[in-house]
A and B are shown apart, each in its own frame.
Chain A
Amino acid sequence: MTTQLTSDVHAPTAAGARRARSGISWWFVVAVLAVAATYIRAIYFTPLEAIQGPAQKIYYVHPTSAWVAFMAFGIVALASIGYLWLKDLKLDRVAESAAEVGVVFTSVTLVTGSLWGKPIWGTWWTWDARLTLTLFLWFIYVGYLVLRGAIEDREMRARYSAVLGILGALLIPFIHLSVYLFRTLHPMPIIGKPSRPSLPNEMLETFALAFVSFTILFIALFRARYHLAIARDELDAEDRG
């Protein structure tokens, strides 16, 4: 007995699966070019910062990765709410793809933060408010992905992940608040930051380029992952059907 795949909201379209198998997507090309351009510009065409020297160059990567990491989680949270409301598996695929790409950018944020911190602050890790928040974001992502990996049932996986995604989003402000309160009551070593207001134009432009190129990179990776999710779901449906 056959099942109608195409009219079913659980099974993806044949077109989507085709796209997953097709060649290089334009988003990737643009993303790679943009990121490369950013690095070249950052290393060769942007002035050295007076106090921090070459180490400051990592700062073009660090907050931009952080921006993508948190934005990705915002997507996870919104898609989670959407899934619980509409029960459309497409939204769950969006959440899962955003989470997998997001965790990578979160890791990059933590590592670059650490790499930058060593020459500047002398330690590999500080409990800087933003870095701590990013660390917790990382834990939430990992929990989210492990949860997904531990559930076979497609629908239960989507449902449970959505619950975790929403609760995780609720947690972020509480972590922020707790860490902030902790730091104001426990004076920590004053940390020098790059002087933001007086950044010369070239630095600002490089920053802007970095933000844009990382966002494009996120979109490229997200799309690839999303099509992979479609193909995997389609295959699973065939296996079972």
Chain B
Amino acid sequence: MAPDARPGTLAAALLIARKDLAIEFRTRTAFFSAVVFALLAIVIFFFAWDPTAVTGMDLAPGVLWVIFTFAGLLGLNRSFSLELADRAIDALLGAPVPREAIYLGKALANVVFVGAVEAISIPAVALFYNTPFGGRWLAIAGVALLATIGLVAVGTLFSAMAVNTRLAELLLPMLSLPFFVPIVMPAAQATARLLSGRPVLEAANWLKILLAFDLVFVAACMMAFPFTIEE
């Protein structure tokens, strides 16, 4: 048999990410649930909104980030539960790939998932709340990306842990939400600044916290991940 060329960490991660996205694309249930939830939340917030008290510009960042957080949790839930269904995780763990590659691959797939939900929600909010984003799309997308990386880094790790416990659906949000706060707060604040047309530099402090969080927690979660799957 020809000598095998084992994939390195990044190549293996991409393989795993593609596999996860292929599965999600096939079934689409988690994605649709997330999108439906997002749209429902947009509508509910709209009907609970008193436009004379709060402007669309003030409401939008909060709504967006609440949606992203909870829709993200829906996606994160399925990330490892699909592995447990027929113990596919055993085959994955039995492959000669570094454990970090498994974490990275799943996190990448989750970023795409949550990113897709965001890509739908942001225009929807702009549309339904009459909040023109006026050329700030790119900056807001940048904030969203930074924050999503943080959300997914922590959420993927906790998803791997929660799925092995009795209270998986309760534990994932319960563990993740305290960690989401230092992401969502800066992200919402930065989004608010950008939406109201303030110079990007004003949001700089918030962006610095986001960046610091991402760096620290992507590293920490990647290092912690092997402890959650090895026995």
Query: Which residues of A are in contact with B by a Cβ distance under 8 Å?
Result: 84, 136, 139-140, 142-143, 146-147, 150-152, 155-156, 159-160, 162-164, 166-168, 170-171, 174-175, 177-178, 181-182, 185
Nearest-Cβ distance from residue A95 to partner chain B, whole angstroms? 14
Task: Write the nearest CB–CB distance from B153 to chain A, whole angstroms.
Answer: 11
11 residue pairs of the A-B complex, CB under 8 angstroms, read A84-B227, A143-B171, A143-B175, A156-B164, A160-B165, A164-B175, A166-B220, A170-B217, A171-B182, A175-B181, A185-B189
Kindly specify which of B9-17, B54-62, B89-97, B205-213 makes contact with the partner chain. Answer: B205-213
The interface on chain B, measured as residues whose beta carbon lies within 8 A of the other chain's beta carbons, has a size of 32
CB distance from B160 to the nearest CB of A (A): 10
Residues of chain B whose beta carbon lies under 8 Å from any beta carbon of chain A: 154, 157, 161, 164-167, 170-171, 174-175, 177-179, 181-182, 185-186, 189, 205-206, 209, 212-213, 216-217, 220-221, 224, 227-228, 231
A139 & B167 in contact (Cβ 8 Å cutoff) = no
Q: How far apart sit A52 and B182, CA to CA, in the bound complex (Å)?
A: 34
* Residue with the greatest number of chain B CB neighbours at <10 A, chosen from A139, A160, A166: A160
| Contact, CB under 8 Å: A150 / B224 | no
Instruction: Contact check, A167 vs B171: say whether CB atoms are below 8 A apart.
Output: no
Secondary structure class of chain A's binding surface, majority of residues:
helix
Q: Find chain A residues with CB under 8 A from B206 CB.
A: 181
Residue in A84, A136, A151, A163 whose CB lies within 8 Å of B178 = A136
Interface-central residue, B167, B177, B182, by most chain A CB under 10 Å: B182
10 nearest A-B residue pairs (beta carbon)? A150-B165, A174-B182, A139-B178, A178-B182, A150-B167, A163-B224, A150-B166, A143-B175, A178-B185, A160-B161
Interchain CB contact under 8 A, B217 and A177? no
Docked Cα-Cα span, A167 to B228, in Å, equals 13
Whether the Cβ atoms of B175 and A155 lie closer than 8 Å is no
Chain B residue at smallest Cβ distance from A186: B189
Complex: how many Å from CA A135 to CA B50? Answer: 30
Q: Contacting A155 at CB < 8 Å: which of B157, B189, B231?
A: B231
Q: Are B167 and A160 in contact (CB under 8 A)?
A: no
Do residues B224 and A174 form an inter-chain contact, with CB atoms below 8 A? no
Assess the B216–A151 pair: CB atoms within 8 A.
Answer: no
A152–B224 Cα distance when bound, in Å, is 21
A182 CB contacts on chain B under 8 angstroms:
185, 189
